[in-house]
Amino acid sequence: MNDIITDRSIMSALGRQLTVAVAKQSVAASNLANLDTPNYRTRDVSFDEALNQVLPGGEKLAVTQRGHLTGQPNVASGELEDAEGLPTRRDGNNVQLDRELLHMNRAAGDFTAAQTALSAKFRLVRYAINESK
């Protein structure tokens, strides 16, 4: 197998990481905004979809058994899934403040990591340009 990591693939992966992090933060913020909305159901970005976005060449996860998830939700178009297994309050809402704040912080960390890597990449390019003068 001849897997070569190119600048283009690195930039593409970092761009996808930024996009997924922003989508996760947006979903957590939406959940928090609906903390007191009766019958609101907590939404999540599908892990399968986030993984599918990172796979090279637009490959999709293989479904080998009938019970496997297909990864249908699409982060970019806003198609999300309901979070499973959360306790529901008497008003029908299942948003948990601590859970959403944790998700926002994790997404912020993912975004910051990708941003730091992009910044370092651009510093290298700028250094190469300046040294060639």
Per-residue tokens: 91: 């008003």
Place of tokens 């939406």: 30
Please report, for residues 14, 59, 81, 104, the alpha-carbon distance to residue 49 in angstroms, rounded to integers and kept in the order given. Answer: 16, 11, 11, 18
Q: CA geometry: angle at 13 spanning 73 and 124, to 5°?
A: 155
Q: Show the tokens assigned to 118.
A: 């992009």
For 123, other C-beta atoms within 10 Å of its C-beta total 10
CA 29 – CA 85 distance, rounded (Å) = 20
Residue 70 CA to residue 8 CA, distance in Å, equals: 28
pTM of full prediction above 0.85: no
d(CA 82, CA 6): 37
Return the biggest CA–CA distance within the chain. Answer: 69
Exposure on the CB side of residue 24, measured as CA atoms within 13 A? 23
- DSSP β-bridge partners for residue 81: 44
Q: Tens-digit pLDDT profile for the chain (133 aa)?
A: 556 778 888 888 898 889 889 999 999 999 999 999 999 999 998 755 555 555 555 555 556 655 554 444 444 444 688 888 999 999 999 999 999 999 999 999 999 999 999 999 889 888 988 887 6
The residue with tokens 């178009």 is 77
